Amino acid sequence: MSRKQILIVEDEPLLRKNIVEILNTLQIWDIIDTSSATKALEMLDTLQPALIISDYKMPGINGLEFLRILRQRDSTKNTPFIFLTAKMDIAAEFDDSQTTIVYKPFSLKVLLQHLMARLKNE
């Protein structure tokens, strides 16, 4: 049985590396990562992750635009999504029951709690 995939989209290299390393140590999921929403969209032509974790503020396509594109695609319209952001008022920018917001700075424990809750509902 193959493991579920999680896609990490984060432009900050150190944060992305830390998240990937922590999740990989658990050896529960296959972790795929990229630094931009543009690259993620290309990857999603062939990937079907069980969950996407994305930064909100990124150069090029930002996290909100990325989420809106995902919700228009049949293959990703119901994919659970976790935003990572320092922006405190983004909840008002979208209405999406499949999306969780994790505010920066966050502990990996908090991220894992949200991740597990989202995947449990899968």
Whether 91 shows a pLDDT value over 80: the answer reads no
Whether 95 shows a pLDDT value over 80: the answer reads no
**Sheet architecture: strand order including 81-85:** 30-34, 5-9, 51-55, 81-85, 99-103
Whether 1 shows a pLDDT value over 60: the answer reads no
**What pLDDT is attached to residue 119?**
86
Farthest CA pair distance, the chain: 40
Give me the CATH code for the 5-120 domain, please: 3.40.50.2300
Lowest mean pLDDT among 4-8, 73-77, 94-98: 94-98
pTM, entire model: 0.91
Nearest one of 52, 56, 43 to 78, comparing CA atoms: 52
The pLDDT tens digits for 9-51 are 999 999 999 999 999 999 999 999 999 999 999 999 999 999 9
The pLDDT tens digits for 40-80 are 999 999 999 999 999 999 999 999 999 999 999 999 999 99
Whether 8 shows a pLDDT value over 80: the answer reads yes
Task: Domain ranges for the chain, please list them.
Answer: 5-120
